[in-house]
Amino acid sequence: MEETVNANIVRGGRFITIEGIEGSGKSTNLPHIVEFLQNAGKTVVATREPGGTRIGEALRTLLLDPEQDMQLDTELLLMFAARAEHLAKVIRPALEAGQWVVCSRFTDATYAYQGAGRGIPNNRIATLARWVQGDLEPDLVLILDIPVEKGFERVRERGAMDRFEQEQVAFFQRVRDAYLARAEAHPERYRIIDARGSMEAVRARIAEVMQESKLYNHCWEQP
């Protein structure tokens, strides 16, 4: 019989990712999502990409280093190298144990940044995605959407900028447009959160979206 649901749901775990351009509030809001799930009695693994493992964090440092003049294919392959390690060491084991994984960025970021931003063909990214992650996809993708100028304003307030944060406005506009296009193409899994408001308003909207999603009922199911 053909499988019609995401493989990680069959195993009991759930996989939620948070996406968005720089300054959209991914790191700020991830703990809020974790708390929401923990209050529902779930064991939650919070992680990020690139990163999440010793090797992944080392690759993250390299990828974000503004002193690195990196070839486009090198950047793409390093992203997937970090992801392969992350899937093997963190994400898959957690899902197989029935845990919930909340990850800041996943493959959608690769399509947005390396695809739309850098101009790498989507079919090249898709080939690597099939090889590295197989049929595993997030059950819910929360896109924290913010105008590029607003995101830049927040990034500048943080101080020194990494290699991606130093890109031009046009780059991030392409990234933002790609995220919104992916959400439009797959409305069953993607939710767009207006991230322009106050921290309290954004968190309230995230909680609302979580409760409205198909995963909400699973919060009180076993395991």
- Residues of the binding site for ATP: 20-27
Assess contact for 163 and 63: CB atoms under 8 A: yes
User: How far apart are alpha carbons 195 and 26 in whole angstroms?
Assistant: 10
Tokens representing 51 are 């990163």
Question: Annotated binding residues, as ranges?
Answer: 20-27
Specify burial of residue 3 (Cβ count, 10 A radius: 0-12, 13-18, 19+).
exposed
Q: Hey, which residues does 193 pair with through a beta bridge?
A: 144
Long-range contacts of 118-124 (CB under 8 A, 24+ apart): 118/72, 118/75, 118/76, 119/72, 120/72, 120/73, 120/76, 124/76
- b/e 46-84 (16+ beta carbons within 10 angstroms → b): ebbbbbbbebbbebbebbeeeeeeeeeeebbebbbbbbb
Tokens representing 178 are 């790609």
Tokens representing 39 are 């209050």
